[in-house]
């Protein structure tokens, strides 16, 4: 089974990234043939960003992925912009992507509302580039969070339309979304996804946060005025904390509810804080070690890009041939 997923280099990684995506990457390393992971710096340019900071964010993300357990010897880990087959395939796939499908993408609607100065054409085409990322490797399975389900479905539709138009070349991927923790919410606004780009510092638990900072953020997490520790639509904050603790402990949410029945929010938040501190400590310590050696991180990305290019170039050659692009065979 061939596995692919991409992650944004948008600064420090948070608990939602780790639970919803990075853990899945590490698990996929065990059964992917190969497992391919991409740091999508081209995607990062689709909204306002700091060009001088982006290269450092890529290395931050690389170190974090490796600290979590990704081994460049056992998977393919690379920077998106190092493999030019991605943007070329994006353009070619635009020929079979309906404009109307892109106007219905939830993330485009959400992000375009937040971009005050300029809504970039690249933000509109973001889902097509994401499809190119996936389809370039004839991916079978895409480990993602719940928020990416629509994007993977569009990738499937693009693959189907391409194959019916030009011939059977591309593989329709399947999303793999965790049953618990697929969508970790902001601690201060539990109706919104935890996000580095749009969230507040108080609403994010960063993987490299110190123990005291983690405890304080969980202690101040927004909840409702009640006392019951149960999941319910009107209890978004407590529901989020139950999901977090269930993932961290490797338990079912129902077990968490039974354990803390009648204990009140204060004790529950303290328990969540301690569990998250213990959960993240090994990754944080390893990250600090790895991040210090930038040359080693760049070597890992360069070697990964060469391996990725070896696969993507073959797919692109097939795509160009059936589309009549380039010299006649």
In the chain, the domains with their CATH numbers are 3-176+293-323 (3.40.50.620), 201-289 (1.10.240.10)
Residue 86 has a CB neighbour count (10 Å cut-off) of 24
Task: Tell me the C-alpha distance between 132 and 149, whole Å.
Answer: 16
Task: Tell me the C-alpha distance between 85 and 311, whole Å.
Answer: 10
Task: Tell me the C-alpha distance between 196 and 204, whole Å.
Answer: 7
Distance of CA 277 to the CA centre of its chain: 22
DSSP bridge partners of 206: 14
pLDDT at 116: 63
pLDDT tens sequence across 284-298: 999 999 999 999 999
The answer to whether 191 and 236 have CB atoms below 8 angstroms apart is yes
Task: Tell me the C-alpha distance between 234 and 32, whole Å.
Answer: 39
Name the CA dihedral angle for 190, 195, 198, 204, rounded to a multiple of 10 degrees.
70
Task: Tell me the C-alpha distance between 9 and 38, whole Å.
Answer: 10
Hey, what are 291's tokens?
């991040």
Residue 258 has a CB neighbour count (10 Å cut-off) of 11
pLDDT at 146: 77
Say which residue the tokens 């006392």 belong to.
Answer: 227
Return the DSSP state at 21: I
**299 vs 184, residue with greater confidence:** 299
Q: Is 310 exposed, middle or buried (0-12, 13-18, 19+ CB in 10 A)?
A: exposed
- Does residue 185 sit in helix, strand or coil? strand
Return the DSSP state at 110: H
Please tell me the least confidently modeled range out of 34-48, 98-112, 127-141.
98-112
Hey, what are 208's tokens?
């490299």
Hey, what are 305's tokens?
């890009």
* φ, ψ dihedrals at 17, nearest 5°: -60, -45
pLDDT at 19: 87
Give the Cα-Cα-Cα angle 208, 211, 212 (nearest 5 degrees): 120
pLDDT at 322: 97
The answer to whether 34 and 77 have CB atoms below 8 angstroms apart is no
Q: Is 54 exposed, middle or buried (0-12, 13-18, 19+ CB in 10 A)?
A: middle
Hey, what are 315's tokens?
């797919």
pLDDT at 68: 94
pLDDT tens sequence across 264-284: 899 999 999 999 999 999 999
**146 vs 55, residue with greater confidence:** 55
- Whether the bond between 34 and the residue before it is cis, its omega within 30 degrees of 0, is yes
Number of alpha carbons in the 13 Å side-chain half-sphere of residue 7:
33
Reported pTM: 0.87
Return the DSSP state at 38: E
pLDDT beyond 70 at 149: yes
Give the Cα-Cα-Cα angle 279, 284, 285 (nearest 5 degrees): 110
- Does residue 178 sit in helix, strand or coil? coil
Q: Where are the alpha helices (DSSP H) in the chain?
A: 15-17, 23-31, 41-44, 54-68, 85-93, 99-103, 106-114, 121-135, 149-166, 211-219, 236-249, 253-259, 265-291, 294-323
Residue 182's pLDDT band (boundaries 50, 70, 90)? low
pLDDT at 269: 95
């Amino acid at each position: 089974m061939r596995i692919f997923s991409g992650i944004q280099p948008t600064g420090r990684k948070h608990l939602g990234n780790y639970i919803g995506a990075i853990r899945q990457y590490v698990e996929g390393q065990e059964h992917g043939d190969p497992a391919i992971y991409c740091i999508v710096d081209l995607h990062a340019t689709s909204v306002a960003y700091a060009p001088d900071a982006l290269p450092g964010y890529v290395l931050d993300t690389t170190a974090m992925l490796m600290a979590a357990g990704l081994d460049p010897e056992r998977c393919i880990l690379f920077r998106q912009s190092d493999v030019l087959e991605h943007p070329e395939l994006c353009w070619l796939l635009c020929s079979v992507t309906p404009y109307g499908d892109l106007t219905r993408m939830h993330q485009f609607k959400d992000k375009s509302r937040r971009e005050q100065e300029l809504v970039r054409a690249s933000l509109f085409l973001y889902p097509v580039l994401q499809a190119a990322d996936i389809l370039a490797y004839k991916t079978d399975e895409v480990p993602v969070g719940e928020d990416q389900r629509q994007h993977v479905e569009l990738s499937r539709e693009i693959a189907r339309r391409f194959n019916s138009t030009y011939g059977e070349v591309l593989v329709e991927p399947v999303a793999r979304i965790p049953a618990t923790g697929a969508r970790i919410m902001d601690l201060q606004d539990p109706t919104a996804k935890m996000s580095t780009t749009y969230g507040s510092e108080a609403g994010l638990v960063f993987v490299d946060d110190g123990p005291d900072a983690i405890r304080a953020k969980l202690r101040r997490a927004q909840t409702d005025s009640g006392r019951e520790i149960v999941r319910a639509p009107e209890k978004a904050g407590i529901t989020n904390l139950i999901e977090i603790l269930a993932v961290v402990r490797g338990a079912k949410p129902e077990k968490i509810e039974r354990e803390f029945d009648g204990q009140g929010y204060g004790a529950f938040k303290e328990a969540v804080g301690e569990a998250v501190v213990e959960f993240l400590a090994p990754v944080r310590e390893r990250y600090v070690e790895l991040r210090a050696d930038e040359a080693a991180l760049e070597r890992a990305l360069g070697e990964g890009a060469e391996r990725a290019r070896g696969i993507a170039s073959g797919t692109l050659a097939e795509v160009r041939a059936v589309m009549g692009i380039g010299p006649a065979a």
